[in-house]
A and B are shown apart, each in its own frame.
Chain A
Amino acid sequence: MTDAGPFRLAAGGRLIDRAYPLSFRFDDRELRGVRGDTLASALLANGQLVMGRSFKYHRPRGPLAAGVEEPNALLGLGEGAYFEPNQRATTTRLVAGMVATSQNCWPGLGFDLGAVNGWLSRFLPAGFYYKTFIHPRPFWKHLFEPLIRRSAGLGKAPTEGDGDRYEQAYDHVDLVVVGGGVAGLAAALDQARQGKSVTVLEQAPHWGGRTPTDHPDGQARIDGLLRDLKALPNVRLRRNCMATGLYDHGYLIAREGLADHEPSAGLPRQRLWRIRAGHVVTATGALERPLSFAGNDVPGVMLASAVRDYIVDYGVAPGRRILVVTNNDDAYRSALAALDAGLEVAAVVDARMNPTGALVETLKRRGVRILPASAIAGIRGGHRIEAVKLCSYVGAGRVFETLAVDCVAMSGGWSPVVHLWSHCGGKLNWDQQGAMFIPDPARPPTGADGAAMVTPVGAAAGDLLVAKATGAAAEQALMPVWVMPMNASRGMKAKMWLDFQNDVKLSDVELAAQEGYESVEHTKRYTTLGMATDQGKVSNINGLAALSAALKQPIPQTGTTTFRPPYTPLTFGTIAAEARGDLFQPLRKTPLHGWHEARGAHWEPVGHWRRPYCYPQPGESHAEAVAREVRAVRGGVGTLDASTLGKIIVKGPDAGRFLDMIYTGMMSTLPVGKCRYGLICNENGFLIDDGVAARLAEDTWLVHTTTGGAERIHAHLEDWLQCEWWDWQVWTANVTEQWAQIAVVGSQARNLLERLGGMDLSSDALPFMGWAEGTIAGIPARVYRISFSGELSFEIAVPAGRGLELWERLHEAGADLGVTAYGTEAMHVMRAEKGFIMIGDETDGTVIPQDLGLGWAISRKKPDYIGKRAQDRSFMAAPERWQLVGLESTDGRVLPDGAYAVAPGVNGNGQRNMQGRVTSTYLSPTLDRPIAMGLVLRGPERMGEILEFPGDGAVSYRARIVDPVFYDKEGVRTHG
């Protein structure tokens, strides 16, 4: 028995199995617990009462609770890739070999230098950030903030990627019951018998909630309900499954622990359930409240319910000599449990004048001293309670007796867990009798049908005894106690903790009220009450009661802060689930992706696509590779994977007039067999996409978009067709992925294609801006004679499944021609040499075609097109716009991309005036000098002027305004 620790009781512990000892490590101590322990119960059994240091004052802290509401016992769990900070010892199941470390203490848990903050506490009141450290100003950033950040805070962030894996799953169910206690199981059985599909979610590894602990026949009642439920095929029971948030339309998020307690099983650690529930029953129980007395945070002071949980559930003695302090009957159960376990109960201190309930009488019969109308005036002890000073509840705290005890079990009443109800808009009523907020059935969260989508039952609905299901006898009413003793001094209140995790005391809330804070939400933020990772589960009601008292108004008038999900913290891993590593984001791959990859392509992300930026050869830099690729194309022939280009079919009797509205130019007059470059603008006149359209048939066009524009422009077309011109007879289809598209570019392009055979590609048969259908190398193909490089160029579309075959045939047949695969950067350089614009480089959503010298692509004959009227607006038509020009570096240095040209003077903000910027800039391998394009104020009128472009630091660049076409102005090369 000593194996399991000095505080392990000789017998009992309904959740543990003493036959299976488990060893674990806490800081530098090797300890042992048993199967079924939580980390907290195992530490307590070993006499390790102090489990953490408080956030602000670094006070030693032991566990306050035994469940999810625990504010103190937060530990770092695991090591390396499996380290996780801020884990609740009270809900963490002990696992063999577990490594736990204490947090927020230095050099150690037992002696912490930060505890000096406690002596300075009078300088760290509510809002101290705003007061104490604000002057002199520079001290905040350089001295105070770093100091506070180092001294405050809890766990450390992990330094490695999470070694665990996670998953998500969706479910659709008629009814979800949250909470597998007696009320939840009874509700589930009732509803399941009516034929509904029912899922019951229980946060703990075991069923029954408090009932088996609190009632002699509790386990039998739970077992009976479980037996009946398991017999029904329409019921699913999930343990270790925490419902963390409820959203509109019955969307319930729950976290299921799969391998939290079985780390070596090779399973995903957790699963996030995303459930669409027809209806939700919240059977989430209630949480006990602390009492506000001086020293209520000293290790050994616990919630009364936690004291009996440790005794009854885990066979652990929270102390040997226990004092109970209460304002209600329920806490007497803890005294009974302690007696039954052979522990000493020093006294029950009851604030009520005349406690007379059945439980009270039972304790009296067993010889326990009951002190009515009494209170705790103070606690003696640092790392563990040594003694309790007692006083009359009515009064200012004159001590009448001091009792030596090592544990205090306190109960200030219970608060129903109303979080899920409140997450999605359910309202609460203040219940005067029980001194608690309970869900108002008249103001529930409503579903799509306007009816209630949540039904609270049991303790969560305010029925704390759940007598119908537990058979519990009636109890005497509680007496609200928000401060103990009634007329406690200010000094006492400065030792009464409301929020244990964030170190907020009753005096802080009173100070906030005194300083004018009236809204509970503001007070929360000013004092940080309830803002820790426990979200104020034990502190919120006490805090707002204190605020109400300070403001001299009733509690419902103060109201609660907003309940927000998640109910308990979720690790980022469950939210990301499978979206990490290879599955982080879908990569779109062209049919030639594998070929590029095998050739060592350097990738450029374009949307979700990966396109080859260049294909560096061994020993070659990217810049060298790009230059080589450009020269190969200009000097012979190259191939580009253009499969990512958007391809949209537009067909119908009204397709021509539709495209005349979509494009700024005329598409209806394009003859079958021809291609035309077109610009697409939005309603504001701004250029959003460009590309070549081909007329495939009398009523059919193929619209090429940019790589990034395929889905966007398809949606744009459908938007206008479905919402504006719904009576026009036009069909569209985005067939981008049906085709592999390969550009064969350079003076030898025709030669190369003729070697593959199958089609007449002569200038007569296929002139520039024409297209033809046939077969190439035996593969059915459409060939478009279009050029984005200024060279003789054919873009060949073949079914995607045959793209690789064509590409490989081109490279076999063209080996002696030096056929070279080129990437997007070579493409960009060549189009810039020709002064061709690029959507996203020369455009940024504020540029109209007229700015780019593309007036020739705008039809003057058409009555309308999308963007036309916007382009007529005064500031669009004004000459004072930045317009496209070429920029020629005056000293051979390449201009920095995005650099601004400065103008004389400063603007209203004292910044230099600007008159233009660089939109594309490269070193041209063809011309062997830098080239650039930019948008410049009245640019085309200012040919020959020199502009200055300040770079980083003192560096500045100068460039001359020139024509944007740098290469082959006459356009002869396009014709081969």
Chain B
Amino acid sequence: MAEALARITEISGLGMIQIRAVLSETGPDIAQALGIPIPERTGTSLAGARRLCWMSPDELLLVLPRDQVAPALAALAASLAGRHALVLDVSDMRVGFLVQGPSAGQVLAKLTPANLSAMPQDGMLRSRAAQVACAIWRQDEGFAIIGFRSVADYLRALLVNAASAGTSLDPR
């Protein structure tokens, strides 16, 4: 009863690079520069500590450790030189939380209308958590959720509230 439904922890050292490009033309160059395959629609692809996320038909988000941002930016700049593409360091723009534990999915099911149980192992869903935009993928025995920096306090409080002890969604 005293146990929260999931552990909520902020992810530290998060780096992010936003990429906008015509993936059918520049995809192979991006993949080669980063050493990660271009993800399927609504999917992510993983290489070590890097995750490349499909955001829209012409947008990717590279999530990686903060200290790898500069070399990744350089690699992308080199391989996309002269091509019509936009690559930006947006590491400060968002905040991320890990939601971990066997009932992590229940915590998110209280906040997002997205069907997480139908999300593939390497999928990512862009949706909302209560009143703010978010994106969710599976990570470390649970989920990672990212949202905008300005609403970090709101997002944290939402997650903690949804994980309140005794509020399991299991039928009683």
Contacts A236-B171, A733-B18, A735-B90 known; A585 to B131 CB distance under 8 Å?
yes
Is the C-beta of A389 less than 8 angstroms from some C-beta in chain B? no
Can you list 26 A-B contacts with CB-CB less than 8 angstroms, sorted by A residue number? A167-B167, A169-B106, A169-B110, A170-B115, A238-B171, A239-B171, A276-B113, A578-B161, A578-B162, A582-B157, A583-B130, A583-B158, A586-B154, A587-B153, A589-B150, A589-B153, A608-B150, A608-B151, A609-B150, A651-B86, A652-B86, A731-B85, A735-B90, A737-B92, A738-B88, A800-B93
- Rounded to whole Å, the gap between the CB of B152 and the closest CB of chain A is 8
Q: How far is the CA of A801 from the CA of B15 in the complex (A)?
A: 12
Q: CB distance B149 to A586 under 8 Å?
A: no
- Rounded to whole Å, the gap between the CB of A223 and the closest CB of chain B is 17
Contacts A267-B167, A731-B86 known; A167 to B20 CB distance under 8 Å?
no
| B161 neighbours in A (Cβ, 8 Å) | 578, 583
**A733's contact among B88, B92, B115, B151, by CB below 8 Å, is which?**
B88
Contacts A237-B171, A583-B154 known; A170 to B166 CB distance under 8 Å?
no
Is the C-beta of A841 less than 8 angstroms from some C-beta in chain B? no
| Chain B, Cβ-Cβ closest to A722 | B58
* Additional 15 contacts, C-beta under 8 A, given A167-B162, A729-B84: A265-B166, A267-B167, A276-B115, A579-B131, A583-B161, A586-B131, A587-B154, A591-B149, A653-B84, A731-B58, A737-B148, A737-B149, A738-B89, A738-B93, A799-B92
| B58 neighbours in A (Cβ, 8 Å) | 731
Per-residue interface assignment for chain A, residues 798 to 839, with 1 indicating a CB less than 8 Å from any chain B CB and 0 otherwise: 011100000000000000000000000000000000000000
Q: CB distance A170 to B109 under 8 Å?
A: yes
| B110 neighbours in A (Cβ, 8 Å) | 167-170, 578
Q: How far is the CA of A169 from the CA of B155 in the complex (A)?
A: 16
Most interface-central of B114, B117, B149, B152 (chain A CB within 10 A)? B149
- Rounded to whole Å, the gap between the CB of B159 and the closest CB of chain A is 11
Q: CB distance B154 to A738 under 8 Å?
A: no
| B21 neighbours in A (Cβ, 8 Å) | 731
Is the C-beta of B47 less than 8 angstroms from some C-beta in chain A? no
Q: How far is the CA of A589 from the CA of B132 in the complex (A)?
A: 13
Is the C-beta of B169 less than 8 angstroms from some C-beta in chain A? yes
Is the C-beta of A274 less than 8 angstroms from some C-beta in chain B? yes
| Chain B, Cβ-Cβ closest to A238 | B171
Contacts A170-B112, A733-B20, A800-B92 known; A268 to B150 CB distance under 8 Å?
no
Is the C-beta of A590 less than 8 angstroms from some C-beta in chain B? yes
| B164 neighbours in A (Cβ, 8 Å) | 268
Number of A-B contacts (CB under 8 A): 111
Q: How far is the CA of A251 from the CA of B86 in the complex (A)?
A: 39
Q: Range of interface residues on chain B?
A: 35 or more
* Contact residues of B between 70 and 107, Cβ < 8 Å to A: 84-86, 88-94, 106
Q: CB distance B157 to A738 under 8 Å?
A: no
* Contact residues of B between 50 and 85, Cβ < 8 Å to A: 58, 84-85
Q: CB distance B88 to A649 under 8 Å?
A: yes
Contacts A167-B110, A170-B109 known; A735 to B154 CB distance under 8 Å?
no
| Chain A, Cβ-Cβ closest to B22 | A729
Q: CB distance B113 to A170 under 8 Å?
A: yes
Q: How far is the CA of A800 from the CA of B93 in the complex (A)?
A: 7
Summarize B's interface: helix, strand, loop or mixed: mixed
| B109 neighbours in A (Cβ, 8 Å) | 169-171
- Rounded to whole Å, the gap between the CB of A156 and the closest CB of chain B is 31
Q: CB distance B92 to A738 under 8 Å?
A: yes
User: Chain A residues in contact with chain B, CB under 8 A?
Assistant: 167-172, 236-239, 258, 265-268, 274, 276, 578-579, 582-583, 585-591, 608-609, 649, 651-653, 729, 731-733, 735, 737-739, 799-801
Is the C-beta of B118 less than 8 angstroms from some C-beta in chain A? yes
| B158 neighbours in A (Cβ, 8 Å) | 578, 583
User: Chain B residues in contact with chain A, CB under 8 A?
Assistant: 18, 20-21, 58, 84-86, 88-94, 106, 109-110, 112-115, 117-118, 130-132, 148-155, 157-158, 161-162, 164, 166-167, 169, 171-172
- Rounded to whole Å, the gap between the CB of B165 and the closest CB of chain A is 8
Q: CB distance A800 to B167 under 8 Å?
A: no
Most interface-central of A237, A258, A609, A738 (chain B CB within 10 A)? A738
Q: How far is the CA of A801 from the CA of B94 in the complex (A)?
A: 10
Q: How far is the CA of A729 from the CA of B83 in the complex (A)?
A: 11
Q: CB distance B167 to A588 under 8 Å?
A: no
Q: How far is the CA of A92 from the CA of B117 in the complex (A)?
A: 35
Most interface-central of A587, A729, A737 (chain B CB within 10 A)? A737
| A731 neighbours in B (Cβ, 8 Å) | 20-21, 58, 84-86
- Rounded to whole Å, the gap between the CB of B73 and the closest CB of chain A is 13
- Rounded to whole Å, the gap between the CB of B132 and the closest CB of chain A is 5
Q: How far is the CA of A330 from the CA of B165 in the complex (A)?
A: 47
| A171 neighbours in B (Cβ, 8 Å) | 109
Q: How far is the CA of A589 from the CA of B117 in the complex (A)?
A: 32
| A585 neighbours in B (Cβ, 8 Å) | 131
- Rounded to whole Å, the gap between the CB of B78 and the closest CB of chain A is 16
Q: CB distance B92 to A588 under 8 Å?
A: no
Most interface-central of A266, A731, A733 (chain B CB within 10 A)? A731
Q: How far is the CA of A171 from the CA of B118 in the complex (A)?
A: 11
Most interface-central of B21, B92, B148, B169 (chain A CB within 10 A)? B92
